Chains A and B, each alone.
Chain A
Amino acid sequence: MTENYRAMWKDLGLDLEAHDGLLAVLGEAYQDIYLSQKNRPAGMGYFDFVMSEVHGLRIKELLDEKKAGRKIIGSYCVFVPEEIALAANATLVGLCSGADFAMEEVERILPRNTCALIKSSFGFKLGKVCPYLESADMIVGENTCDGKKKAYESLSDLVKNLYVMDLPQVKSDHGKALLKAEYNRFRKAVEGLTGIPVSDKSLKQAIRTVNAKRTAIHRLSALRKADPAPISGLDALLANQVFFYDNPERFTESVHKICDELENRIAEKNGVFPENTPRILVSGCPQAVPNWKLPFIVESSGAVIVGEESCVGERGTRNLTDETGETIEQMMDAIADRYFQVDCAIFTPNPDRLKHIQEMVAAYNADGVIHYGLQFCQPYLMESMPVEKAMEDANIPCLRIETDYSMEDVGQLKTRIEAFIEQLR
């Protein structure tokens, strides 16, 4: 940390000793996993800085925004529309859910067979180590899977400002009507929180800001089609992870900067891995910071990840919100239309996801698919079977992985992933 933030963390109510421990582990992991990579794009320096200040400078910025009258909203899911938060003078941030923390305490509240992501979000609260959560004026839960929707009932005992958004499970007219109604209810709630009503002007600007962020990520994704890959999957995942934390305008600018550099690299055939390195598409559950377990194993076993069919990845960033609406109603409709296309496994049936995986395999010229499932994540683990079947039918090698945030299975995962990569050669 470049500045001393201890007083700030203390004011937020963090457990300083536990938080020091977390930062030490995070710093070490970042060193071993990220900084040890060779020939990284120089533009990744920005993301290294963001990560080194993820609990420092960025929190200070958020607290400064709060002082200036903005509100901070924390979210756990890509269904929470950032456009609405921004339009009502609030900042939306993703909340920590990518590492095990305070597990003994978590398992007093949640069953042991709850997925690592849900447990992690509780661990960060119970362990008092997430400054985003503690800075947030509103925390948004959402009725996605059964695990999450029931967990929010218990989370409401731990945080006083939880707002729960309902979500459809079927892509029908009724489903879309529900989503629209819920987004309007959310807009009212955010307006109530900030005291600033959404206007047609502020909503239009917010849509543009979020679309610009998505467009930058789309550009980055498209550059990953090149062989040799100009950027590692680890680094591209990091950019997708920082998407949820950073100041939107600065994020957009930084991603474009790195894209300019990658274009030069592609022209010079300067890859981070040699040409013809086996290319892998990862599909499945979200990989939240600092969950870098799978890409680290894959990319230290002789393959490169070229895309993430994931919430932290294309599922979250695919499609822009239509910017042409003039009235609030038109733009709210456009927002609902955009988010209604998200192909999350909570939907039944969910044929779009299968189609998207196949499209991504073709677009990124992937040699194989690794289906990443978090243990006990019923929706994605259920879908992993038909995904594998569809891949086999299309002669695309597919490996199903089921894991969590612990390190106990790394040896076996490495063997399976290395063997899968041998298959692709």
Chain B
Amino acid sequence: MHMHFAGIDIGSRTIELVVLDEAGNIVSSLQADTGFDPMEEARNLIDGTRYDRIMATGYGRNLFEISFDASTVTEIKAHARGSRSYFPDAQTVLDIGGQDSKAIALFENGKVKKFEMNDRCAAGTGKFLEIMARTLGFDLEDFGKEALSVEKDLNISSMCTVFAESEVTSLIAKGKSRQEIARGLHASVIRRAAAMINRVSSEGDIVFTGGVAKNPCMCTLLERKLGRRILTPDDPQSVGALGAALLAQEE
């Protein structure tokens, strides 16, 4: 019987589960919305999944550790490890998830050297973009594409989700283009992310993970802003879970 190793990333918006075989191949990769009962959702995901060891990450990791037989790791280390499996030489990782964002610098051997993380509020996170997309009447999936369809961005000065929303409302009232407002909002998140990256590392490629990495406008604007290559894994949302699974295997 071959051993299977699982990683589960219980984030604020979604839960990802990745299972690896002994060779490190992905056997299964599942996702669910976190909802209001994350442990129930997590249980649904792991029911029927065969694994020998599981490691939890994400903000729900400690609750999961108590409810299930698991070890835990922070999102920071998990994303660092997961990013390395896609890009073995990566030394900078940007993860923007549902309610927080992190910039991580790695040593050559992959260990975490330094990190920055947003504090407290949802400014500059997936949640910010989600609320703004809704305010502008875009589907989240199309938000980045629509923003990329124009060249001009309207300056949005507020990073606070609540204040930015009223800024957007007043721009709409002035008859401004939805797409240009959208681009301005992306640019404001990028300014914050770029500042965070610059505090931990100044050169080299950047691996972009987390749900927000699926947004093409974010990738394009970030690349332009920093003049550094942005590398995006196939499934950026599951990088944390993958990292946790790899760490479970290496434990």
A residues apposed to B, CB below 8 Å = 392, 397, 402, 408-409, 411-412, 414-416, 418-419, 422-423
Q: How far is the CB of B66 from chain A (nearest CB, A)?
A: 13
Q: How far is it, in angstroms, between the C-alpha of A402 and the C-alpha of B118 when the chains are bound?
A: 11
In Å, the complex CA distance between A7 and B77 comes to: 56
Check if B111 sits within 8 Å of A412, measured CB to CB. no
Minimum distance in angstroms from B114 CB to a CB of chain A: 8
Are A423 and B117 neighbours in the complex by a CB distance under 8 Å?
no
1/0 contact string of B92-134 vs chain A (CB within 8 Å): 0000000010000000000111110101100000000000000
- A-B contact sample (5 more), CB < 8 A, given A419-B112, A419-B117: A409-B119, A415-B100, A419-B75, A419-B76, A422-B77
Identify 30 residue pairs between A and B in the complex whose beta-carbon atoms are under 8 Å apart, listed by A's number: A392-B114, A397-B114, A402-B119, A408-B120, A409-B120, A411-B59, A412-B100, A412-B117, A412-B119, A412-B120, A414-B62, A415-B59, A415-B74, A415-B76, A415-B100, A416-B115, A416-B117, A419-B74, A419-B75, A419-B76, A419-B77, A419-B112, A419-B115, A419-B117, A422-B76, A422-B77, A422-B112, A423-B111, A423-B112, A423-B113
Smallest CB separation, B119 vs chain A (Å)? 6
* Set of chain A residues within 8 Å of B113, measured between Cβ atoms: 423
Nearest CB of chain A from residue B162's CB, rounded to whole Å: 16
B36-63 to A contact mask, C-beta < 8 Å, 1/0: 0000000000000000000000010010
Minimum C-beta distance from B75 to chain A (A): 7
Residue numbers in A under 8 Å from B119 (CB-CB): 402, 409, 412
Across-interface contacts of A419 in B (CB, < 8 A): 74-77, 112, 115, 117
Name the 3 nearest CB pairs between A and B, nearest first: A419-B76, A419-B74, A418-B74
Q: Which residues of A contact B76 (CB under 8 A)?
A: 415, 419, 422
Residues of chain B contacted by A392 (CB below 8 angstroms): 114
Contacts of A412 in B (CB 8 A): 100, 117, 119-120
Are B120 and A415 touching (Cβ within 8 A)? no
Give A284 Cβ to nearest chain B Cβ, in Å: 16
Bound state CA distance, A422 and B57, in angstroms?
Answer: 13
Report B173-207 CB contacts with A as 1/0, cut-off 8 Å: 00000000000000000000000000000000000
Interface of B is mostly: mixed
A408 to B121, CA, bound (A): 10
B245 CB-CB contact with A under 8 Å: no
Among A408, A419, A422, A423, max chain B CB count under 10 A is at: A419
Contact B117 A422 (CB under 8 A): no
The answer on a CB contact under 8 Å between A422 and B74 is yes
Verify if B73 is at the interface (C-beta below 8 Å from A). yes
Residues of B within 8 A of A397 (CB): 114
User: Distance in Å from the Cβ of B201 to the closest Cβ of chain A?
Assistant: 13
A67 to B189, CA, bound (A): 64
Residues on A with beta carbons closer than 8 Å to the beta carbon of B62: 414
- Known A402-B119, A415-B117, A416-B117; contact A422-B100, beta-carbon cutoff 8 A: no
Q: How far apart are B240's CB and chain A's nearest CB, in angstroms? A: 12
Determine how close the nearest CB of chain A comes to the CB of B123; give it in whole angstroms: 13
Verify B73–A422 contact, CB threshold 8 A. yes
Assess the B75–A415 pair: CB atoms within 8 A. yes
In the complex, what's the smallest C-beta–C-beta distance from B149 to chain A, in angstroms?
Answer: 35
CB-based nearest B residue for A414 = B62
Chain B residues with CB under 8 Å of A402's CB are 119
Residue with the highest number of chain B CB atoms closer than 10 Å, among A392, A408, A414, A415: A415
Cα–Cα distance between A423 and B113 once the two chains are bound (Å): 7
In the assembled complex, which residues on chain B have CB atoms less than 8 Å from the CB atom of A408? 120
Q: Which residue of B lies closest to A418 (CB)?
A: B74
CB distance from A158 to the nearest CB of B (A): 31
**Residues of A contacting B77 in the complex (Cβ-Cβ under 8 angstroms):** 419, 422
**Cα of A409 to Cα of B121 in the assembled complex, Å:** 9
Q: What's the Cα separation between A418 and B112 when bound, in Å?
A: 12
Min Cβ gap A256→B in Å is 39
Question: Please, which residue of chain B has its CB at the minimum distance from the CB of A401?
Answer: B119
Chain A CB within 10 Å — which of B74, B75, B100, B120 has the most?
A: B74
